[in-house]
């Protein structure tokens, strides 16, 4: 149903000196600083794993070359989701509004779109231990302590089950540095960015920026200060204790199929003013390597 003059009497009288309308300054978009953003040209994305080669084998004199083969791993298909919202108001409501609030639907729809983008991308992190939300190519949630390694048959973890501290942050760095591929071959992942809720900024600033060890009284140096690690406060994290360490390369995606677009028109029969915004995208991950969760517990 459209908004009509009967429901917004305060906007139709000059007696009110001011009427408050969400004038709060919103957080700027935070997902672009972390997400791998792309624009896609098909209605779905399908990716898969291919297991390569391990180390070369020793050979005796005149021995034939040993051969290995590539192995096809799992695959995953992701479809895009539409998001939209509209506002409608009667012609009288639009004409008689003395405050101008009914002439700002595009601004409000833009705020809604920006909020939605961040909300959906950071849900990849917030629901990262829930296999019911999404899984990667290995069939597991983003954060588990037993990611299967197809080539070697072992498992790898990307969870540090502890509160944020010098010890847990160093352990998270070690997890990234120690990652291997499906054949157990070491790969290069360097800790780059620590994503944190605003409640943890005080301790994290000490951990990363203090010249001396913040947890020692012996004037020991703070090795974390020399790792080159940065931190970023994110306001969409639902766990006030958990922190997330990202390598320079990771696979958390924000994939556009259609950018946000906004339109306005009038209904021919009722002359109601109609405004709408819509967009189509998907947020997900395929490969879990590149991010470690410090649970905060």
Whether the predicted pLDDT of 256 surpasses 50: yes
User: Which residues are CB-contacts of 105 (< 8 A; sequence separation ≥ 6)?
Assistant: 87, 264, 275
Whether the predicted pLDDT of 11 surpasses 60: no
Percent of the chain with pLDDT strictly greater than 90: 64
The H or E element containing residue 246 is strand 243-247
User: Which residues are CB-contacts of 58 (< 8 A; sequence separation ≥ 6)?
Assistant: none
3-state secondary structure of 240: coil
pLDDT band at 23 (very low <50, low <70, confident <90, very high): low
Separation in Å, CA 245 to CA 145, 235, 280: 15, 16, 29
> Which residues in 177-188 are b (16+ Cβ under 10 Å) and which e?
eebebbbeeeee
Higher pLDDT, 223 or 136: 136
Question: Which fold is adopted by the domain 34-46+78-294?
Answer: phage-related protein like fold (3.90.1690)
Distance CA 267, CA 273 (A): 7
Higher pLDDT, 293 or 101: 293
Separation in Å, CA 95 to CA 1, 92, 101, 103: 18, 5, 11, 10
Whether the predicted pLDDT of 81 surpasses 70: yes
pLDDT of 106:
85
pLDDT band at 150 (very low <50, low <70, confident <90, very high): confident
Mind listing the pLDDT tens digit for each residue in 234-252?
999 999 999 999 999 999 9
Q: What's the chain's average pLDDT?
A: 89
pLDDT of 17:
47
Domain ranges of the chain: 34-46+78-294
Whether the predicted pLDDT of 292 surpasses 70: yes
Confidence (pTM): 0.88
**For the residues 13-39, what does the mean pLDDT come to?**
76
pLDDT of 138:
94
Lowest mean pLDDT among 30-34, 53-57, 60-64, 191-195: 53-57
């Amino acid at each position: 149903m459209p908004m009509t003059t009967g429901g917004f009497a305060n906007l139709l009288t000059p007696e009110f000196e001011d009427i408050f309308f969400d004038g709060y300054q919103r957080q700027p978009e935070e997902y672009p600083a972390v997400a791998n953003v792309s624009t896609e040209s098909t209605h779905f994305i399908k990716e898969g794993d291919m297991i390569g080669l391990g180390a070369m084998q020793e050979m005796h004199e005149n021995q034939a070359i040993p051969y290995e083969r590539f192995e096809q791993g799992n695959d995953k298909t992701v479809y895009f989701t539409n998001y939209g919202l509209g506002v409608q108001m009667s012609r009288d409501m639009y004409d008689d509004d003395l405050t101008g609030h009914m002439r700002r639907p595009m601004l409000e729809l833009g705020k809604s779109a920006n909020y939605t983008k961040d909300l959906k991308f950071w849900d990849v992190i917030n629901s990262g231990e829930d296999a019911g939300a999404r899984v990667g190519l290995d069939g597991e949630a983003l954060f588990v302590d037993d990611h299967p390694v197809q080539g070697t048959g072992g498992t790898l973890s990307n969870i540090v089950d502890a509160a944020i501290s010098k010890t847990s942050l160093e352990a998270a760095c070690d997890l990234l540095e120690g990652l291997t591929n499906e054949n157990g071959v070491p790969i290069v992942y360097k800790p780059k960015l620590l994503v944190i809720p605003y409640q943890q900024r005080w301790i994290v600033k000490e951990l990363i920026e203090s010249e001396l060890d913040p947890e020692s009284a012996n004037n020991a140096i703070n090795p974390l200060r020399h790792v080159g690690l940065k931190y970023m406060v994110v306001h969409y994290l639902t766990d006030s204790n958990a922190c997330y360490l990202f390598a320079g390369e990771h696979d958390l995606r924000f994939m556009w199929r259609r950018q946000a677009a906004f339109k306005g028109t009038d209904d021919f029969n009722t002359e109601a003013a109609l405004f709408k915004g819509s967009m189509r995208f998907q947020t997900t991950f395929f490969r879990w390597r590149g991010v470690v969760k410090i649970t905060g517990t």
